[in-house]
Amino acid sequence: MQVKVLSARFDIPDAHKIEVAKENGAYATLEKVFSMQPIEVIELVKQSGLRGRGGAGFPTGLKWSFLPKNNQKPVYLAVNSDESEPATFKDRHILVLDPHAMIEGIIICCYAINSHDAYIYIRGEYTTQVKVLQAAIDEAYAAGYLGASVCGQDYRLDVTVHRGAGAYICGEETALLESIEGRKGQPRSKPPFPAVEGLYGCPTIINNVQSIASLPFILTNGADAYKAFGTEKSPGTHLFGISGLVKKPGMYELPLGLPLLEVIEKVAGGLREGRTLKGIIPGGSSTPVLTPEEAQTVTLDYESMAAHKTMFGSGGIVVLDDTVDIVKLVENLIHFYHHESCGQCTPCREGLGWMLKIVKKIIGGNGTTADINLLVELCDNIEMKTVCVLSAACTMPVRSYLNKFRHEFEAYVKSDVSCQTAM
């Protein structure tokens, strides 16, 4: 089931070094790229059907075409390498195993959007990874792929690595821009959208690492070659991260559209001995959980996920077996989102902390049915009332656990004697 498109050089020793990468095809497509008009590159990417691999799945080529025409300001590219959504660990593999694929992708993208300055925003926790990445960038400068004259062309391109420092919210594209500009990572109200008014008030494209790293293949082999993978509406391949309670967790490159359960069974080795499936988080912690019944019919693509009222997200799949205490899992998730709330909007700032305390109260044996109902209501009260979707990234999955596993919450409440006598 596994394919080798993005991961083609992952198994080659020292492919993060430029000589090895070049021997294995890196930067080979640039000559062709520079022979094309930028608009042709954008068209090709549009035709490939590549969708943003950060989580939202927005068509990449279409995003590029939102840049204003007749623009006089600089255009910036920000590469989102903040990969912080729990269960997501795909971009890290590109950064470490094939950084030159991403750099080549940056050159392609910047040429297409007429940008001369790219910033790679990498999460602060990726301490060893940033060293590999910076070394690769230094190599690319030395080899003339970056700098004043890219590939000998009259085209300057500078790539700067900007390190985050521990803030999930900086994966939100406007929070990422704020962070580059030297502020707290607090998302901006939209509109204006970054394509019109982004970094330093200039038109800016923000793309995920994996989206960018997909470009060399598309430019080398054409849109049809890319579309040969995946489904009609969700073409291409994706680096899926499978983790949790399976035999062989890990990162696997797969075409989109494969049946979820089959992938878990055949690729990730299935459940551990003697265990039964309780649920599957399909695309990172912020996606609503699927019950085993729902999982039966799900395939790994945007449309199937949406049809099952969940999301493809970042492709981070987490398998939950019968040992998992859903209420404690929910506590773990709310703890995460509360900890990562930027503190800007009232509902998210105040509400997630309240939700966390209520769950803790339930787990502590002091909860009531009213507390469970309050949790459900707070999900509704907080969701979509904020500048960004961080609060929804918490309330959507939490609501799904409350709906699909309510009996587990009720068990905590019913087991509480003091509460019953109090009533």
Task: Verify binding: residue 320, another protein, rule CB under 8 A.
Answer: yes
Considering the rule CB under 8 A, would residue 357 count as an interface residue with another protein?
Answer: yes
Assigned token pair, 23: 């021997």
Identify the burial level of 69 via C-beta atoms within 10 angstroms of its C-beta, where 0-12 means exposed, 13-18 middle and 19 or more buried.
Answer: exposed
The site map against another protein for 321-340 (x = CB under 8 A) is ---x----x--xx-xx-xxx
Smallest gap, in angstroms, from Cβ of residue 225 to another protein? 28
Q: Which of residues 10-69 bind another protein (CB under 8 A)?
A: none
> Is residue 155 within the footprint of another protein (CB under 8 A)?
no
Tell me how many residues contact another protein (CB under 8 A): 81
Q: Which two tokens stand for residue 333?
A: 């998730």
Residues with Cβ within 8 Å of 49's Cβ and at least 6 positions away in sequence, in order, are 59, 223, 226, 227, 233, 234, 235, 236
Residue among 197 and 340 whose Cβ is closer to another protein: 340
The C-alpha angle 167, 172, 173, rounded to 5 degrees, equals: 125
- Omega before residue 259 within 30° of 0, cis: no
For residue 216, the minimal CB distance to another protein (Å) is 24
CB contact at 8 A, 67 and 203: yes
Candidate ranges 16-24, 98-106, 225-233, 383-391; the one touching another protein (CB under 8 A): 383-391
Q: Which of 244, 255, 283, 288 binds another protein (CB under 8 A)?
A: 244
Q: Rounded CA gap, 149 and 154, in Å?
A: 6
**Side-chain half-sphere CA neighbours of 408 within 13 A:** 19
Say if CB 318 and CB 277 are below 8 A apart: no
CB of 316 to another protein, least distance (A): 7
Instruction: Choose the stretch contacting another protein; rule: CB under 8 A; options: 86-94, 97-105, 400-408, 413-421.
Output: 86-94
198 binds another protein (CB under 8 A): no
Q: Which of 71, 114, 149, 189 binds another protein (CB under 8 A)?
A: 189
Residues between 95 and 154 that touch another protein (CB under 8 A): 123-128
Long-range contacts of 186-192 (CB under 8 A, 24+ apart): 186/342, 186/343, 186/344, 186/387, 187/342, 187/344, 187/387, 187/388, 187/390, 188/387, 189/387
Stretch that binds another protein, among 58-66, 214-222, 297-305, 318-326 (CB under 8 A): 318-326
Among the listed ranges 64-72, 141-149, 212-220, 350-358, the one in contact with another protein (CB under 8 A) is 350-358
Q: 36 vs 245, which CB is nearer to another protein?
A: 245
Using the structure block, give the residue that is written with the tokens 């909007």. Answer: 345
CA–CA separation, 270 and 246 (whole Å): 5
Using CB under 8 A as the binding rule, the residues of this chain from 275 to 314 that contact another protein are: 281, 285
359: exposed, middle or buried (Cβ count in 10 Å: 0-12, 13-18, 19+): buried
Q: Which is nearer to another protein, 163 or 233 (CB)?
A: 163
Q: Which stretch binds another protein (CB under 8 A): 39-47, 146-154, 246-254, 411-419?
A: 246-254
Which of the ranges 22-30, 288-296, 305-313, 343-351 carries the binding residues for another protein, by CB under 8 A?
343-351
Structural tokens at position 143? 């080899």
Shortest distance, CB of residue 66 to another protein, whole angstroms? 16
Let me know: does 208 contact 230? Beta carbons within 8 Å: no
Minimum CB–partner distance for residue 221 and another protein (Å): 28
- Tokens for 204, please give them: 């800016």
164 scored as a contact of another protein (CB under 8 A): yes
**The only residue of 99, 279, 282, 351 in contact with another protein, by rule CB under 8 A:** 351
249 forms part of the interface with another protein (CB under 8 A)? yes
From candidates 83, 98, 172, 294, binder to another protein by CB under 8 A: 83
Q: How far is the CB of 220 from another protein (least distance, A)?
A: 28
Establish if 222 lies at the interface with another protein (CB under 8 A).
Answer: no
Burial class (CB in 10 A: 0-12, 13-18, 19+), 74: middle
